Amino acid sequence: MDLLIKTLLDGDQAQAILEVNKLRDAGFSQQRIITEGVEKAMEQLDAKCTLEQFNLLEIMLCGRAVMGVMKELFPPDAPHPPQTRGAVVVAALEGDVHDLGKNILKMVFTAKGYRVVDCGKDCPLDRFIDSAEQETAFVVGISGLITTIIPQLRRVRDSMNERGLGHIKLIAGGAVLKQFSAESLNVDYVAQNAFDGLHYLDQIAGDKK
Amino acid sequence: MNGIERIKAAISFQKQDHVPVMPQVFGHAAILSAVTLDDYIRDGDLLARCQLNAQEFYGYDAVFALMDVYVESEAMGSVLVYQADRYPTVKAYAADVSGLNNLTVPDPYRDGRMPELIKAAAYLRREVGNNVLVVGCVLGPMTLAVQLLGMEKAIYLAIDEPEQFTRLLDFATSVIIRFGSAQLEAGVHLPVVFDPASSPDVIPPQFFREFILPRLKQVFESFKQAGSAVNWLHTTGPVEPILPFYTQAGVELFNIDYCVSPLNAMQALPQTCLNGNIKPVSFIEKTPAEIKAESSNLIDLFAKRGGFILSSGCEIPPESKPENIAAMVSAARGDGEQCQR
């Protein structure tokens, strides 16, 4: 398992997949590989990013390796989808076509065992809220890189409340949005980076249980 | 002192009549002149007129021949989506990994919007002469590589095929030098090198040292030879870990973002003029009194050391409140102090 953790942290996708297959051959279950391998690697990356420097390159490489491993363990057409800690819907709102931040969120949340539904970039508000409802999300996340989406973002909370979805927590993040307060954006939390968002998610998931 | 004398004095740590002030007013100049952003970034003469209006309105020390971050990549084939009230976005990047060898250095007098930017530079210099600093803009090598391929592809290329990535950075460096030199020829006093993708929140400091530093050095040496008044680098984000490299790159003026401690920056770059670092969204959210107080704090902080230009941490958002920008300019001029005397 240590080798899997190391290859994931090195961002070596091909080697990580080889390690996963070795573990499976040795009788390790999918769930154990995730909890003792993938999640441990993400915890170490989280600690490193907190202590040193949040660094997109390392996160992206590790995230790519993690997504490769998850795909290996749970192919899209697999009969038994992974157990999850709950559904999270993420998007970049209509008018915003920057999706890197959202993609990072997706990788980090997936690796921690959440089911992430990606509404993509340039996503109309109604479609985003429809997804939150259909997927019974407990948190929704919006990543934003431009100030022009802010008026739209400020409407999300009220629109969700009107639809009876007031119980779903709303996170915002991204280079521009993180300069604002949660109150000013009318959201529940403003994440300073993907792991900060993850900590909030874990906290809410813990409260939920 | 006029604006350019004031800025040059700050760069060389000489005394000024008051702290120079250089709000990074780009698209806001369009809004102030009731022009759409879309028209502003596509018409060099219009951009220059809006910049002059804004400079006259606020009375700060620099004007900017600067459109957006896609000028270079569009000239090499990126497809953009233009919208009236916002900066363009990328629909398709100029290159795919397999097509990198087909890229050619664009002609600043022919390709994309480059000629319009050159036109804006010439217009501005013609109008302000040596009274106000005329600033052009080029992307830095890492940011241009990202704009040619997209962030994810560029970063994966750097790791999966470092030799090809190195060639891409060398190509980007050639583009930057060619475009910046053309801007200098047209009349800018300097092109600011904007390289947010080389920030430590994107790439590790070792990566910066190995891949980016030598190319930034090459860019600044070329600009100096082409007559650039000052080597100005603008990198956003928490740059503390790479600040010591900037002197090696030949940086003479560095923009500190709002998340960087001015004290840390002063310590890391004792001989380098710094500009910054009011949080950009504060110009939307805060009041003139708050902006003035933040500005005065910064001025006080640098008073003993010198080598400071009051500015925002990054671009002042187009929709900012004009009274907030005016408050920053007023603080630099010491208007409040004069009233109190």
The residues, any chain, with a CB within 8 Å of residue B21's CB and separated by 6 or more, are B60, B61, B309, B310, B311, B328, B329, B331, B332, B333
Pairwise CB contact (< 8 Å): A53 & B319 = no
Rounded Cα–Cα distance for residues A191 and A196 (Å)? 5
Q: Is the predicted pLDDT of residue B183 greater than 80, yes or no?
A: yes
Structure token pair of residue A160: 């969700």
Q: Is the predicted pLDDT of residue B41 greater than 80, yes or no?
A: yes
Residue A145, chain B, CB below 8 Å: the answer is no
Q: B259 lies in a domain?
A: yes
pLDDT of A142: 93
Q: B64 lies in a domain?
A: yes
When CB atoms are compared, the residue of A55, A97, A147 closest to B317 is A147
pLDDT of A81: 66
What confidence category does residue B286 fall into, taking pLDDT thresholds of 50, 70 and 90? very high
Complete DSSP assignment for B12-61:
TT---SS--B----STHHHHHTT--HHHHTT-HHHHHHHHHHHHHHH--S
pLDDT in tens, B115-138: 999 999 999 999 999 999 999 999
Q: Is the predicted pLDDT of residue B146 greater than 70, yes or no?
A: yes
Q: B340 lies in a domain?
A: no
Among A47, A54, A173, residue whose Cα is nearest residue B202? A54
Q: B338 lies in a domain?
A: no
Q: Worst-scoring range by mean pLDDT, A63-67, B165-169, B231-235, B328-332?
A: A63-67
Q: B248 lies in a domain?
A: yes
Q: State the smallest CA–CA distance between residue A179 and chain B in angstroms.
A: 7
pLDDT of A51: 66
* ipTM summary value: 0.83
Residue A124, chain B, CB below 8 Å: the answer is no
Neighbours of B174 (CB within 10 A): 16
Where chain A has pLDDT below 50, the residues are: none
The residues, any chain, with a CB within 8 Å of residue A206's CB and separated by 6 or more, are none
pLDDT of B336: 53
Check which CATH number belongs to the domain holding B144 and give it. Answer: 3.20.20.210
Rounded Cα–Cα distance for residues A93 and A150 (Å)? 10
Bridge partners of B277, per DSSP, are B311
Rounded Cα–Cα distance for residues A122 and A96 (Å)? 5
Rounded Cα–Cα distance for residues A78 and A90 (Å)? 23
Contacts 24+ apart (CB under 8 A), B90-97: B90/A97, B90/B147, B90/B150, B93/B147, B93/B148, B93/B149, B93/B150, B93/B153, B94/B147, B94/B148, B94/B149, B95/B148, B95/B149, B96/B149, B96/B153, B97/B149, B97/B153, B97/B157, B97/B161, B97/B164
Pairwise CB contact (< 8 Å): A179 & B319 = no
Among A8, A11, A12, A30, residue whose Cα is nearest residue A83? A30
pLDDT of A206: 86
For chain B, the distance separating the N- and C-terminal CA atoms, rounded to the nearest angstrom, is 22
Asked if B3 and B16 count as a contact pair (C-beta separation under 8 A), the reply is no
**Nearest-5° Cα angle at B260, B259 to B266:** 160
Asked if B303 and B278 count as a contact pair (C-beta separation under 8 A), the reply is no
State which H helix or E strand residue A162 sits in.
helix A150-162
Q: B341 lies in a domain?
A: no
Three-class secondary structure of residue B121 per DSSP? helix
Among B35, B68, B60, B38, residue whose Cα is nearest residue B49? B35
What confidence category does residue B340 fall into, taking pLDDT thresholds of 50, 70 and 90? very low
Output the furthest CA–CA distance in chain B (Å, rounded): 67
Residue A179, chain B, CB below 8 Å: the answer is yes
Q: B228 lies in a domain?
A: yes
pLDDT in tens, B304-337: 999 999 999 999 999 999 999 999 999 999 875 5
The residues of B whose Cβ lies within 8 A of any Cβ of A are 81, 83, 85-87, 89-90, 151-152, 155-156, 158-159, 200-205, 207, 236, 238, 241, 258, 279-281, 284-285, 317-319
Rounded Cα–Cα distance for residues A129 and A163 (Å)? 9
Pairwise CB contact (< 8 Å): B258 & A184 = no
Q: State the smallest CA–CA distance between residue A53 and chain B in angstroms.
A: 7
pLDDT greater at residue B340 or residue A189:
A189
Task: Please identify which residue in the block is written with the tokens 């018409």.
Answer: B43
- Running DSSP on this structure, what letter comes out for residue B318? T
- Report the DSSP pairing between strands B62-64 and A189-191: unpaired
Q: Worst-scoring range by mean pLDDT, A44-48, A86-90, B68-72, B77-81?
A: A44-48
Residue A54, chain B, CB below 8 Å: the answer is yes
As a whole number, the mean pLDDT across chain B is 95
Bridge partners of B274, per DSSP, are B254, B308
For chain B, the domain total comes to 1
Which value, in Å, is the radius of gyration of the alpha carbons in chain A? Answer: 17
Tell me which amino acid residue B323 is: E
Q: B12 lies in a domain?
A: yes
Asked if A183 and A153 count as a contact pair (C-beta separation under 8 A), the reply is no
Which residues form the domain of B308? 3-333
Q: Is the predicted pLDDT of residue B38 greater than 50, yes or no?
A: yes
The alpha helices in chain B, defined as continuous H runs, are 3-11, 28-32, 37-40, 44-58, 71-75, 114-128, 141-149, 151-160, 162-186, 205-207, 213-225, 243-249, 262-268, 282-285, 288-303, 322-333, 335-340
The pLDDT of B224-244, averaged and rounded, is 95
Residue B236 with chain A: CB contacts under 8 Å:
175
As a whole number, the mean pLDDT across chain A is 88
Rounded Cα–Cα distance for residues A205 and A169 (Å)? 11
Residue B318 with chain A: CB contacts under 8 Å:
147
Q: Worst-scoring range by mean pLDDT, B37-41, B87-91, B131-135, B228-232?
A: B87-91
pLDDT of A208: 62
Three-class secondary structure of residue B79 per DSSP? strand
The pTM for the full model equals 0.89
Neighbours of B290 (CB within 10 A): 14
